[in-house]
């Protein structure tokens, strides 16, 4: 059974990602460590004692669709009510609408715990939180007054409607249309697929944020607008009115996260005799909807990154527990009688330590991204701009690297379990199934890598990433000057990894400057892993400097896994031509 690692989470927030220094400096007003610790402890208790026990029934029974209504697994609706009564949905919401206004760092830490306990549960509120941010930044005052308070509290939930059968990541192909009525409303027509929690029984109302085109909209992404489309209309007194012309026509039968309803949504089909056309209200300006939606998408990308961390944490806990119980073979390090628990075997130890190190690296990157978002939000002038650039740089790492290692670590967890890991009895397979979606949605990880190389490396005239690398080098220097024997070759190996990163970064920046976009994109995915591993090595070292009990894991990573950066650098610099040649053969095959 999952137990929230509150101590590790608090340590990473404070000592690695920067929360303690920010609290000491009064960056977040009166917020202090005692309140932070209390929030994390209670979130951990709720995740461990109330969410985690319902994971198995959610995986086995899943969500069910009947007569356009979705029923979630037994106990899940009641769990959600207890969750919002605890104020968890409002944790980082705007205070003006009933939120607690706490830092994003605390919000993502709590998200990790919800998703570790049951990813299919944690994903639902994630979309609501993103909808809150999009409406708070872009909606009219009337829409905010009518919808935000109940979305912030969690009394209503929100969704994000982008994908269509012919338009996945390429939103330029979007066909859903919006026809102005003349009274400030629009009639929405179209089909959306893969809509998470598009229909469910958690709340009385669901607020859909829908991308669609106006009749005279420009072609491509420049002609997309964003609309608020409620499941039920809201009367002036806040009560619910008639049903809108939107319904769920199907649920996907998925590899994992079975309890999360993934819906096909139909807009404007005359549901149950209503006048055709789902009624919606414009958010932001006409034809500027993608910019509004990106507010929600960027929030969701970090949240999805936390899903990768979360599944990795649960898989690691499960594998360590099993390795301490399962007895097999002899081990020279084991002095007991009979067969040794497999945790005594070096290869099993290597797998477990790899799982622990990758999980902690992903957690550190994601929390550091959240810290940058917080500092950008409360900062001013050049300082705010610097932190905004840092958040922009780290977002693709947080989303892509974290979800990649979620799959990798869950797979290692199955391996540690051996044959019983491949069957459903232990639950290791279920985590592997759940993890596999995260590298796909909210922008596939390949798209995240392209975004990193094409859009994020040029930030600050191309110097921001080098400033970041300089900060990581300072950690390596601090390890060396500390003269702590336990670090072994950490400083030297981290220096080499950061040199690999610096060389690969400058190479890609030059390709981009020279207009060789295809060659740069060929190295994007290995580059994203390279920068993540190098940064992760520095974050582990930073943790080791703050707590000597964490040095052993840092050294293991530096001396066993960090050397991968050299091969990744070679792929970035030397792999483009061979990829192009082999790619042509694929196209002609």
- Residues belonging to the active site: 442
Residue 336 structure tokens: 């007991």
Residue 359 structure tokens: 């999980």
Helix pair 402-417, 428-435: axis angle to 10 deg: 160
Closest CA relative to residue 187, chosen from 68, 267, 263, 247: 267
Reported for 516-523, long-range contacts at CB under 8 A and 24+ positions apart, including other chains, are: 517/454, 518/576, 518/580, 519/576, 520/453, 520/454, 521/450, 521/453, 521/454, 522/575, 522/576, 522/579, 522/580, 523/453, 523/571, 523/572, 523/573, 523/575, 523/576
Q: Which residue has the tokens 């009624």?
A: 279
Rounded Cα gap, residues 419 and 426, in angstroms: 10
The DSSP output letter for 459 is G
Closest CA relative to residue 305, chosen from 317, 315, 313, 293: 313
Q: Phi-psi category of 145—alpha, beta or left, where left has phi over 0 and alpha has psi -120 to 50?
A: alpha
Residues pairing with 243 in the sheet? 232
Label residues 186-196 b or e (16+ Cβ within 10 Å = b): bbbbbbbbbbb
Rounded Cα gap, residues 542 and 15, in angstroms: 8
Around Cβ 304, how many Cβ atoms within 10 Å? 29
Element housing 39 (H / E):
helix 33-46
What are the C-alpha distances in Å from 279 to residues 227, 229, 268, 283, 285? 9, 6, 8, 13, 17
Residue 545 structure tokens: 């400097």
> Which pairing describes strands 278-283 and 232-234: parallel, antiparallel, or unpaired?
unpaired
HSE-up of residue 365 (Cα within 13 Å, Cβ side): 34
Closest CA relative to residue 230, chosen from 250, 210, 214: 210
Rounded Cα gap, residues 130 and 298, in angstroms: 8
Handedness of CA 77, 78, 84, 89 (dihedral sign): negative
């Amino acid at each position: 059974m999952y137990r929230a690692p509150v101590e590790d989470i608090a340590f990473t927030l404070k000592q690695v990602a920067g929360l303690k220094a920010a609290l000491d400096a009064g960056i977040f007003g009166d917020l202090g460590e005692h309140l932070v610790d209390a929030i994390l402890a209670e979130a951990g208790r709720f995740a461990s004692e109330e969410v985690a026990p319902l994971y198995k029934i959610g995986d086995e029974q899943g969500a069910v669709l009947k007569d356009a209504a979705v029923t979630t697994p037994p106990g899940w609706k009641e769990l959600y009510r207890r969750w919002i009564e605890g104020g968890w949905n409002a944790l980082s919401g705007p205070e003006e609408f009933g939120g607690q206004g706490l830092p994003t760092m605390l919000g993502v830490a709590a998200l990790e715990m919800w998703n570790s306990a049951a990813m299919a549960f944690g994903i639902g509120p994630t979309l609501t939180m993103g909808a809150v941010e999009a409406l708070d930044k872009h909606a009219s005052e009337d829409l905010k007054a009518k919808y935000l308070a109940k979305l912030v509290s969690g009394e209503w939930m929100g969704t994000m409607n982008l994908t269509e059968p012919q338009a996945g990541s390429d939103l330029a192909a979007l066909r859903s249309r919006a026809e102005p009525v003349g009274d400030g409303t629009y009639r929405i027509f179209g089909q959306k697929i893969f809509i998470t929690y598009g229909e469910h029984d958690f709340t009385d109302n669901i607020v859909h944020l829908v991308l669609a085109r106006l009749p005279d909209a420009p072609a491509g992404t420049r002609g997309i607008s964003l609309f608020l489309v409620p499941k039920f209309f809201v009367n002036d007194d806040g009560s619910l009115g008639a049903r809108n012309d939107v319904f769920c026509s199907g649920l996907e039968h998925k590899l994992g996260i079975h309890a999360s309803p993934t819906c096909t949504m139909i807009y404007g089909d005359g549901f149950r005799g209503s006048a055709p056309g789902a009624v919606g209200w414009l958010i932001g300006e006409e034809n500027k909807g993608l910019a509004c939606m990106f507010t929600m998408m960027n929030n969701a990308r970090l949240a999805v990154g936390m899903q990768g961390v979360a599944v990795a944490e649960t898989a690691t806990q499960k594998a360590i527990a099993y390795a301490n119980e399962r007895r097999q073979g002899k081990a020279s390090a084991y002095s007991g009688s009979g067969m040794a628990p497999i945790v005594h075997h070096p290869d099993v130890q290597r797998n477990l330590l790899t799982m622990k190190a990758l999980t902690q690296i992903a957690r550190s990157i994601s929390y550091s991204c959240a810290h940058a978002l917080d500092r950008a939000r409360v900062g001013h002038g050049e300082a705010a701009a610097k932190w905004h650039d840092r958040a922009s740089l780290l977002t693709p790492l947080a989303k892509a690297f974290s979800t990649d290692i979620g799959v990798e670590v869950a797979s290692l967890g199955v391996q540690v379990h051996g044959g019983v890991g491949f069957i459903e009895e232990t639950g290791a397979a279920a985590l592997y199934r759940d993890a596999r979606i995260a590298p796909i949605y909210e922008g596939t990880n390949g798209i995240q890598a392209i975004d990193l190389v094409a859009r994020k490396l040029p930030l600050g005239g191309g110097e921001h990433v080098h400033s970041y690398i300089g900060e990581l080098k300072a950690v390596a220097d601090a390890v060396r000057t500390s003269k702590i024997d336990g670090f072994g070759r950490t400083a030297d190996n981290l220096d080499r990894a950061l040199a690999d990163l610096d060389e690969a970064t400058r190479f890609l920046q030059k390709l981009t400057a020279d207009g060789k976009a295809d060659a740069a994109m060929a190295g994007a995915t290995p580059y994203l892993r390279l920068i993540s591993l190098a940064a992760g090595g520095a974050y582990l070292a930073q943790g080791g400097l703050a707590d000597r009990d964490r040095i052993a894991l840092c050294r293991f990573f530096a001396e066993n896994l960090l050397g991968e950066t050299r091969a990744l650098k070679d792929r970035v610099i030397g792999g483009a031509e061979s990829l192009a040649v082999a790619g042509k053969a694929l196209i002609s095959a």
